[in-house]
Amino acid sequence: MFSSLSLKTLVHVKRPIMSPNSRLKESPTFNAKSTYRFFQSRTRIVVASFNEVLILHPSFVGMPGLTAYVGFHEICSPKKGELVFVSAASSAVGQLVGQFVKLMGCYVVGSAGSNIRYFPEGINIYFENVGGKMLDAVLLNMAIHGRIAACGMISQYNLEEPEGVCNLFGLLVKCVRMEGFVVSDHFHMYPKFLELALQYIKEGKIVYIEDIIEGLENAPSALIRLFTGQNVGKQVVVVAHE
Amino acid sequence: MFSSLSLKTLVHVKRPIMSPNSRLKESPTFNAKSTYRFFQSRTRIVVASFNEVLILHPSFVGMPGLTAYVGFHEICSPKKGELVFVSAASSAVGQLVGQFVKLMGCYVVGSAGSNIRYFPEGINIYFENVGGKMLDAVLLNMAIHGRIAACGMISQYNLEEPEGVCNLFGLLVKCVRMEGFVVSDHFHMYPKFLELALQYIKEGKIVYIEDIIEGLENAPSALIRLFTGQNVGKQVVVVAHE
Chain B residues within 8 angstroms (CB to CB) of chain A: 131, 135, 150-153, 156, 161-182, 185
- d(CA A242, CA B8) in angstroms, rounded, equals 80
pLDDT for residue B33 is more than 70:
no
A171·B179 Cβ contact <8 A:
yes
Residue A234, classed as helix, strand or coil, is strand
Shortest Cα distance, chain B CAs vs residue A174, angstroms: 7
Using an 8 Å CB-CB cutoff, list chain A residues near B175: 179-182, 185
Mutation test of the interface with chain A: which of B160, B167, B172, choosing the one with the most A Cβ atoms within 10 A? B172
A178·B178 Cβ contact <8 A:
yes
Contacting residues for A126 by C-beta, under 8 A, at least 6 apart: A84, A85, A86, A87, A138, A142, A146, A147, A148, A149
Mutation test of the interface with chain B: which of A127, A154, A167, A178, choosing the one with the most B Cβ atoms within 10 A? A178
Using an 8 Å CB-CB cutoff, list chain A residues near B180: 170-177
A162·B167 Cβ contact <8 A:
yes
- The confidence score (pLDDT) of residue A53 equals 29
Mutation test of the interface with chain A: which of B175, B176, B181, B182, choosing the one with the most A Cβ atoms within 10 A? B175
Q: What are the structural domains, with CATH classification, of chain B?
A: 4-62+188-238 (no CATH), 63-184 (3.40.50.720)
Residues A40, A21: contact at Cβ < 8 Å? Answer: yes
Read off the pLDDT band of B36 (50, 70, 90): very low
| pTM attached to this predicted model | 0.78
- d(CA A3, CA A99) in angstroms, rounded, equals 19
Using an 8 Å CB-CB cutoff, list chain A residues near B179: 171, 175-178
Comparing B74 with B6, the larger pLDDT belongs to B74
- Please write the tens of the pLDDT for every residue from B198-239: 788 778 888 888 888 899 999 999 999 888 888 888 888 989
Give the β-pairing of A11-13 and A54-56: antiparallel
Residue of B152, B162, B172 with shortest CB distance to A166: B162
Residue of A165, A175, A176 with shortest CB distance to B168: A165
Comparing A62 with B78, the larger pLDDT belongs to B78
- Please write the tens of the pLDDT for every residue from A76-95: 999 999 999 999 998 999 99
A169·B179 Cβ contact <8 A:
no
Residues A125, A84: contact at Cβ < 8 Å? Answer: yes
Q: How many other C-beta atoms lie within 10 A of the C-beta of residue A25?
A: 11
Burial class (CB in 10 A: 0-12, 13-18, 19+), B45: buried
Shortest Cα distance, chain B CAs vs residue A10, angstroms: 30
Output the DSSP codes for chain B. ---GGGEES-EEESS--S-B-TTSPPPGGGSSS--EEEEE-SS-EEEEETTS-EEE-TTTTSHHHHHHHIIIIIIS---TT-EEEEESTTSTTHHHHHHHHHHTT-EEEEESSS-----TT-EEEEEESS-HHHHHHHHTTEEEEEEEEE---GGGTT-SSPPPB--THHHHHTT-EEEE--GGGGGGGHHHHHHHHHHHHHTT-----EEEEESGGGHHHHHHHHHTT--SSEEEEE----
- The confidence score (pLDDT) of residue B229 equals 82
Least confident of A139-143, A177-181, B4-8: B4-8
- Please write the tens of the pLDDT for every residue from A107-165: 999 987 666 677 888 999 999 999 999 999 999 999 999 999 999 999 999 899 999 99
- The confidence score (pLDDT) of residue A236 equals 85
Dihedrals φ, ψ of A105, to 5°?
90, 20
| Direct distance between the N- and C-terminal alpha carbons of chain B, in angstroms, rounded to an integer | 30
B171·A177 Cβ contact <8 A:
no
Using an 8 Å CB-CB cutoff, list chain A residues near B176: 179-180
Residues A92, A61: contact at Cβ < 8 Å? Answer: no
Residue A185, classed as helix, strand or coil, is helix
Least confident of A192-196, A211-215, B110-114: B110-114
- Percentage of the residues of chain B whose pLDDT score is greater than 90: 51
- d(CA B185, CA A30) in angstroms, rounded, equals 46
